Amino acid sequence: MRAVVQRIYNGSVKVEDRLVSEITRGLLVYLGVKEGDEEKDMEYLAEKVSGLRIYEDDQGKMNLSVKDKEYEIMVISQFTLYGDVRKGKRPSFTDAARPEEGRRLYEAFVKRLQSFGFEVATGEFGAHMEINYTNDGPVTILLDSEKVF
């Protein structure tokens, strides 16, 4: 399972010109599920995301988490995080989980973050979405449950 985590000032998601969700300050998490991912992968990433110390403390050091700051989290499903372009220029998505499994682990990830006390906004799984946000920093962190980066 992979996540691209961005610190943002605000974010919103639209589907077919309809506002689906929005947050003020917090994290935008693009989440990709790989074929063979399990609950332990979801748990690992939920723990990592919720505890990432990427907000500055009084001394200007990144020592505070989204929980410490009492900010929100927006989670967007993005199977393209498993796009493989090592053999050409057209991505192959054979490593991405089948939609039903991707949805199950995506929804479990959202519920896990909510169980930690976060307000979690989401997009619509499988929909073509328009995502707008203002990056804060910019600060972007890549996470992988197999710890490849």
Q: Give the pLDDT mean for 20-48.
A: 98
| Average pLDDT along the chain | 97
CB half-sphere exposure, 7, CA atoms < 13 A: 17
Residue 78 annotated to the active site: yes
Mean pLDDT, residues 15-33 taken together? 98
Options 6, 24, 59, 79, the catalytic residue: 79
C-alpha angle 99-35-84 in degrees, rounded to nearest 5: 95
Measure the CA–CA gap between 33 and 43, rounded to whole angstroms.
13
| pLDDT (tens digit per residue) in 52-79 | 999 999 999 999 999 999 999 999 999 9
147, 31, 36: which is closest to 81 by C-alpha? 31
What pLDDT score was predicted for residue 43?
A: 98
Which of these is catalytic: 78, 109, 118, 122?
78
The structural domains of the chain, ordered by start, are 2-144 (3.50.80.10)
Q: What confidence score (pLDDT) does residue 149 get?
A: 87
| This model's pTM is above 0.95 | yes
Catalytic residue among 6, 59, 80, 122: 80
| pLDDT tens per residue across span 82-118 | 999 999 999 999 999 999 999 999 999 999 999 999 9
Percentage of residues in the chain having pLDDT higher than 70 = 100
Joined tokens for residue 87: 């053999």
